[in-house]
Structure 1
């Protein structure tokens, strides 16, 4: 997998490593200690749903980590879709007053991920696209 579209830059790979670690850590946090998660993010009614979203985030994070570390084709579509989903939901539900403003920090990190991913995809040499 070392040729053409399967190759990716070290910089783009590092973006996926960072986002993968972030998704994995934040995803398993409510599973490991729901009480501390709620202290940081506010009270939750449906903890099972928080745990499910956490498991999905951790699954995405593992995918990002493994593909990056193995130098496999990066799941760019999943990267854009996941980061955009978290970004939109964070902003929407903070604006409605449904979730704590701490989620704007997550929105900012998702925006950074989207921006970095876009920059490194656009800057890739033509033979790597």
Structure 2
């Protein structure tokens, strides 16, 4: 039987990640100037906005799934978090994007670690 405490904790992790994705996703749409001030110059702002919309879409999926108490979308959660984590690390190391993206990488790593821990605990 699935431990309801672990199930609720996993749902809460997805709820937090969903809110994070929505907030960071719509930020460039609501204020590109402040987004650029915080993260550095961008060549293609339309691409920043598109990634933001995709991020917000994933975040909305996480929130709706959590609030409806449905099974969390683990594959989507892992793949999106890992994608952001890898791109953050690779392009910070290459000097293409600012070190502020290491904060995002840390949040993505924490999400992956928490989900992994809770999935393992749930199976015990």
Q: TM-score with structure 2 length normalisation? A: 0.94
- The answer for the alignment partner of 2:35 in structure 1 is 37
SS in 2 for 1:121: helix
SS in 2 for 1:71: coil
- Which segments of 5 or more consecutive residues in structure 2 lack a partner in the other structure? none
Partner deviation per Cα, 1:17-67 (whole Å, 9 max, x = no partner): 010000000000000000000000001010000000000000000000000
- The answer for the alignment partner of 1:61 in structure 2 is 59
Alignment RMSD: 1.3
SS in 2 for 1:74: coil
- The answer for the alignment partner of 1:22 in structure 2 is 20
Partner deviation per Cα, 1:54-81 (whole Å, 9 max, x = no partner): 0000000000000000001211000000
- The answer for the alignment partner of 1:51 in structure 2 is 49
Q: TM-score with structure 1 length normalisation? A: 0.90
Q: For residues 120 and 73 of structure 1, what CA distance do their matches in structure 2 show? A: 13
Say how many residue pairs are matched.
121
- Which segments of 5 or more consecutive residues in structure 1 lack a partner in the other structure? none
Partner deviation per Cα, 1:66-108 (whole Å, 9 max, x = no partner): 0000001211000000000000000000000000100000000
- The answer for the alignment partner of 1:100 in structure 2 is 98
